[in-house]
Amino acid sequence: MDINKISQVFEDFQIPEEPTFVSDHADFLMNYVIPNSVHLSAPKYIGHMTSALPYFMMPLAKVLIALNQNVVKIETSKVFTPLERQTIAMLHNLIYANSEAFYRNHTHEADGALGLFCSGGTVANLTGLWLARDRILGRKTKQTVDKVGLWRSMQAHGYSDLVVLVSDKGHYSIKKAMHVLGLGSESVSVVPTDKNHHIRLDILEDRIKELRKQNVGIMACIGIAGTTESGSCDDLLAMAELCEKYEQDGDPIHMHVDGAWGGPTIFSNKHKQKLAGIERARTVVIDAHKQLYTPMGAGILLCKDPKDVKAIQHSAQYIIRKGSHDLGKFSLEGSRPGMSMLLHSALNIMGKQGYEFLIDTGIERAQHFAQMIKEHKAFELITEPELNILTYRYVPKKLRGKTEQLDNQDSVNRLQVSLQKKQRSMGVSFVSRTKFYVDKYKQDLNVLRVVLANPLTTEKDLEEILDEQATYGDQLSK
Amino acid sequence: MDINKISQVFEDFQIPEEPTFVSDHADFLMNYVIPNSVHLSAPKYIGHMTSALPYFMMPLAKVLIALNQNVVKIETSKVFTPLERQTIAMLHNLIYANSEAFYRNHTHEADGALGLFCSGGTVANLTGLWLARDRILGRKTKQTVDKVGLWRSMQAHGYSDLVVLVSDKGHYSIKKAMHVLGLGSESVSVVPTDKNHHIRLDILEDRIKELRKQNVGIMACIGIAGTTESGSCDDLLAMAELCEKYEQDGDPIHMHVDGAWGGPTIFSNKHKQKLAGIERARTVVIDAHKQLYTPMGAGILLCKDPKDVKAIQHSAQYIIRKGSHDLGKFSLEGSRPGMSMLLHSALNIMGKQGYEFLIDTGIERAQHFAQMIKEHKAFELITEPELNILTYRYVPKKLRGKTEQLDNQDSVNRLQVSLQKKQRSMGVSFVSRTKFYVDKYKQDLNVLRVVLANPLTTEKDLEEILDEQATYGDQLSK
């Protein structure tokens, strides 16, 4: 059903006076909701960052709802507090691999946290930048933001402005987070990328020097481990070195890594080198509902130093009292579900080897798909898959082999949009689209985007998707 | 099991190398997690704001996880977008009761929203204040926060500072939200309350006048519909009048109502008068996972004016494109689960009458419990239940009838804490505790706090809870 037609079913704005039989409402869900939802777990839906879940998530979700714990405090969650802390420790160890003594001291420590479980990557990025803002504004004086507000605190610390540095491929949540935090878009110092979508390190270094001269505080330098659009990874090692080189008073620039998508690549012995340097980041974001295969609603902020969260601590008389082990002391959110149980279960059930298999398979399949595209005359590969994401576009018959001679790519650009919409409306398969600057053409291009995270997607599926797209493309460009 | 003992089970910080059988992990959950969670749905657990869920939530939760939609955009949620918008419209109509034409125009409008579905009350309050901040800083010039940052925008608008006004019973999330937004604790202008925990309207008005003189911008005036500690409701009608009286350039002060707990009282024809004036608030927060009986993870911000959300709009190339119907355009969070399906189901299945029954029953039971406490010689009622929350304390034998003569309530205060901890550790029943200023004693007192939202709690349960507490109290005060 078309979305506008579906909307008509959801026009009524009044809560019914009288109760309805559960069976009647179940019929409604069966007739209108389930068939009109998106088949995100279908092997041919390869355009989203949400794919299939392991089968054991469904019964576990039922248990989770039955228990309906609230992890804001121990009184409403008990075992879920140590369980969440252990889950965070497991991921912390995956990234930072500290000593046994370190985890023995800090995993269940009341006065710190190895990380924070959030409702998603946006809240995790926001929390990371909140923490970075309040750390840099708590160094020299006690005029912290939570006491005197942003501007007075900046003045007390001698900053004329405060910025984050991130490449032009940064997720939109970075700008949104800065906006929420009271810093304008000018506070997001966008660094250009090279043709592989990696942050330009030379420009980054120049920018740091320039900002230092202007007395602008660098709140954080953000590395991306898997850009949303093409799955590219910044050179995190080089970024960490820059952050350390330009330290002030012994404090390196706060390095934050947005690994919402690519963080779990660390599971792969073959590919983890692509994230080298991540272990030197002060904070790292990983989305569990992406490549850790939990249901929607789980983003994680990891903190290299468990004491960093004290910058954003809160307390009240009826909850999260001072000295308590309550998780709500440090979280942006208050009442929260025990989602960590699902991640904890997945980590245990699938194990490192299970995740390694999933990561390796996705990357291999993306490499194979890239090869298929290169060999197919109707398509042009735009970005090679660094992880399991790649972009390409359809080329109309009359322009094959000649697209480089076009000054104006407008008609080809429009074609990608209509092709993608056509494919989406047919409902058999799904590929997403985006738009970015393509070095080869010296302009912004619309491209088709594929994310290969569903282990059930076969080579045959990929062939059929290309055939389907070629057919639509040929029809639309006639 | 004691929480420290439980923590020992969750010491391991390494993700297992190899996969585990699901059945083995299920055994672990059965042995360690389920029995050590908190029995929030037990009729004798009357200290939390999380109680029992309707039975149909469990199978529905399984459906929700099976579909695993992402409501950030239509492409990953399709029907869930109109479904969420309808759910919001139903609640908007419950509070604001606008015309049919209004809902026909705005329920599914791309360029606005009747409200925003959030992961909880804290994010909903934060979003409401974010919106209020950016509205007041977008009135006079185009120097908005998202462009030039908080301080420059404040200057451009001629404000020396920016505050919210809220009573001293405001939820801790207000301070946290202001902290995140870049405004210090001095920006939360705390207004004293009367002996019934209602905001002092005379002081509120004086404060508004004073702030106006000082050229301080009043970002929002926050009314509370059901304080966390005692379920008290501010006089929202009088607050709305003040907000309108002190308008500037035709724009009333932004009135925000934190109805996370008490908002659903509006379902009760008998008690909704307590919230009179809520329909004049510009933004209202209601937690669905509290008195709308959905599972944890559902807070809602309602916006009287559907265009207000444009102050916090964001877009990107690969998602929530300009002009799209994507819900992610206005939400603080990015990827989100389709939790609205559970609320939509509950509203339909229970109907207005079902919710009215639940609200009325809770308030009646609280009134009855207050009477029981008054008649029991071992207890002293501290706050009468305005809604379904009340507070009281145990009085040791030797002090009965004499507590008012005590200058120093320290020993009685300590006793409430040890009694509450004793009861909690026994695991049969649960009552929470808090600390606030009690007018009668002219000092802060520790009190026991009860929330009566579980329809399965009987009078006999309440009698037994008091008996249990009297026994512990007598033992502890010997």
CB contact (8 A) between residue A175 and residue B76: no
What value of ipTM does the predicted structure carry?
0.96
> By C-alpha distance, which of A203, A273, A291, A206 is closest to A235?
A273
Nearest CB to B75 within list A6, A38, A121: A38
The reported pLDDT for the residue numbered A26 is 96
Instruction: Of A237-251, A320-334, B462-476, give the lowest mean pLDDT range.
Output: A320-334
3-state secondary structure of B311: helix
Instruction: For residue B464, give both structure tokens.
Output: 């037994």
B 71-130 near A (Cβ less than 8 A): 74-83, 85-86, 89-94, 100, 103-104, 107-108, 119-123, 126, 130
Contacts of B184 in chain A (CB under 8 A): 144-150, 152-153
The dihedrals phi and psi of A454, each to the nearest 5 degrees, come to -90, 115
Nearest CB to A15 within list B7, B94, B173: B94
- The percentage of residues in chain B with a pLDDT greater than 70, rounded to a whole number, is 99
Nearest CB to A317 within list B90, B151, B435: B435
Contacts of B338 in chain A (CB under 8 A): 37, 296
- The three state secondary structure string of chain A is CCHHHHHHHCCCCCCCCCCCCHHHHHHHHHHHHHHHCCCCCCCCECCCCCCCCCCCHHHHHHHHHHHCCCCCCHHHCCCHHHHHHHHHHHHHHHHHCCCHHHHHHHCCCCCCCCEEEECCHHHHHHHHHHHHHHHHCCCCCCCCHHHHCHHHHHHHCCCCEEEEEEECCCCHHHHHHHHHCCCCHHHEEEECECCCCCECHHHHHHHHHHHHHCCEEEEEEEEEECCCCCCCECCHHHHHHHHHHCCECCECCCEEEECCCCHHHHHCCCCHHHHCCHHHCCEEEEECCCCCCCCCCCEEEEECCCCHHHHHCCCCCCCCCCCCCCHHHCCCCCCCCCCHHHHHHHHHHHHHHHHHHHHHHHHHHHHHHHHHHHHCCCEEEEECCCCCEEEEEECCHHHCCCHHHCCCCHHHHHHHHHHHHHHHHHCCCECEEEEEEEHHHCEEEEEEEEECCCCCCCHHHHHHHHHHHHHHHHHHCC
B 4-63 near A (Cβ less than 8 A): 6-7, 9-22, 25, 28-29, 32-34, 36-38, 40-41, 47-50, 53, 56-63
The reported pLDDT for the residue numbered A51 is 83
Residue type, A462: L
CB contact (8 A) between residue A332 and residue B25: no
Q: How far apart are CA B210 and CA B283, in angstroms?
A: 24
Cα separations in angstroms, B161 against A276, B168, B218: 45, 20, 9
The reported pLDDT for the residue numbered A71 is 95
Instruction: For residue B244, give both structure tokens.
Output: 């309108």
Q: How far is B421 from chain A (nearest CA, A)?
A: 10
User: In chain B, which residue's Cα lies nearest the Cα of A144?
Assistant: B184
Nearest CB to A58 within list B21, B65, B89: B65
**What structural domains does chain A harbor?**
69-336 (3.40.640.10), 352-476 (3.90.1150.170)
User: In chain A, which residue's Cα lies nearest the Cα of B230?
Assistant: A318
Q: How far apart are CA A205 and CA A195, in angstroms?
A: 18
Which helix (DSSP H) or strand (DSSP E) does residue B450 occupy? strand B443-451
- A66–B contact, CB cutoff 8 A: yes
Q: Do the beta carbons of residue B447 and residue B393 sit within 8 Å?
A: yes
Answer whether residue B32 shows pLDDT above 90: yes
Instruction: For residue B36, give both structure tokens.
Output: 């050590």
Span between the terminal Cα atoms of chain A, in Å = 27
Q: How far is B243 from chain A (nearest CA, A)?
A: 25
Report residue A318's pLDDT band, with 50, 70 and 90 as the boundaries: low
Contacts of A420 in chain B (CB under 8 A): none
In eight-state DSSP terms, residue B280 is G
> Which residue do the tokens 């003594």 mark?
A101
Cα separations in angstroms, B26 against A68, A342, B213: 18, 12, 64
CB contact (8 A) between residue B18 and residue A69: no
Size of interface A-B (CB pairs under 8 A): 432
Nearest CB to A333 within list B62, B120, B430: B120
Q: How far apart are CA A402 and CA A395, in angstroms?
A: 9
Instruction: List strand residue ranges (DSSP E) for B292-431, in order.
Output: 299-303, 379-383, 389-394
Q: How far is A428 from chain B (nearest CA, A)?
A: 14
Report residue A406's pLDDT band, with 50, 70 and 90 as the boundaries: confident
User: In chain B, which residue's Cα lies nearest the Cα of A349?
Assistant: B20
Write the pLDDT tens digit of every residue in A197-217: 999 999 999 999 999 999 999
Answer whether residue A316 shows pLDDT above 90: no
Answer whether residue B325 shows pLDDT above 90: no
Instruction: Of A56-60, A139-143, B125-129, give the lowest mean pLDDT range.
Output: A139-143
Nearest CB to A79 within list B6, B18, B434: B6
Write the pLDDT tens digit of every residue in A130-171: 999 999 999 888 899 999 999 999 999 999 899 999 999 999
The reported pLDDT for the residue numbered A409 is 86
Q: Do the beta carbons of residue B390 and residue B366 sit within 8 Å?
A: yes
Q: What angle, rounded to 10 degrees, do the helices at A410-426 and A459-476 form? A: 120
Nearest CB to B353 within list A18, A93, A350: A18
Nearest CB to A120 within list B172, B296, B336: B336
Nearest CB to A11 within list B107, B148, B325: B107
Cα separations in angstroms, A257 against A285, A286, A409, B463: 6, 9, 34, 55
CB contact (8 A) between residue B335 and residue A296: yes
Answer whether residue B318 shows pLDDT above 70: no
Q: Partners of B470 in the beta sheet?
A: none
Q: How far apart are CA B206 and CA B108, in angstroms?
A: 42
In eight-state DSSP terms, residue B295 is P
- Flag whether the pTM goes above 0.90: yes
A164: left (phi over 0), alpha (psi -120 to 50) or beta: beta
Q: How far apart are CA A321 and CA A314, in angstroms?
A: 9
- A421–B contact, CB cutoff 8 A: no
Cα-Cα-Cα-Cα dihedral sign, residues A99, A105, A107, A112: negative
Interface test with B, best of A1, A60, A68 (most B CBs within 10 A): A68
The reported pLDDT for the residue numbered A324 is 84
3-state secondary structure of B290: coil
Report residue B111's pLDDT band, with 50, 70 and 90 as the boundaries: very high
B 187-246 near A (Cβ less than 8 A): 187, 228-229
CB contact (8 A) between residue A61 and residue B62: yes
Q: How far apart are CA A476 and CA A425, in angstroms?
A: 14
Answer whether residue A320 shows pLDDT above 80: no
Write the pLDDT tens digit of every residue in B274-295: 999 999 999 999 999 999 999 9
Span between the terminal Cα atoms of chain B, in Å = 27
In this prediction, residues A81-93 reach a mean pLDDT of 97
Q: How far apart are CA A91 and CA A477, in angstroms?
A: 48
User: In chain B, which residue's Cα lies nearest the Cα of A351?
Assistant: B19
Answer whether residue B140 shows pLDDT above 70: yes
Nearest CB to A22 within list B56, B100, B319: B56
Instruction: Of A141-155, A430-444, B40-54, B313-327, give the lowest mean pLDDT range.
Output: B313-327
Write the pLDDT tens digit of every residue in A274-293: 999 999 999 999 999 999 99
CB contact (8 A) between residue A123 and residue B185: no
Cα-Cα-Cα-Cα dihedral sign, residues B32, B37, B41, B45: positive
A 301-360 near B (Cβ less than 8 A): 312, 314-320, 325, 332-338, 341, 345, 347-355
Instruction: For residue B272, give both structure tokens.
Output: 């909704």
- The percentage of residues in chain B with a pLDDT greater than 90, rounded to a whole number, is 90
Q: How far apart are CA A189 and CA A167, in angstroms?
A: 8
CB contact (8 A) between residue A10 and residue B82: yes
Q: How far is A100 from chain B (nearest CA, A)?
A: 8
Contacts of B433 in chain A (CB under 8 A): 318
CB contact (8 A) between residue A182 and residue B183: yes
Give the neighbor-by-neighbor strand order of the sheet with B443-451: B379-383, B389-394, B443-451, B432-438
Write the pLDDT tens digit of every residue in B186-244: 899 999 999 999 999 999 999 999 999 999 999 999 999 999 999 999 999 999 999 99
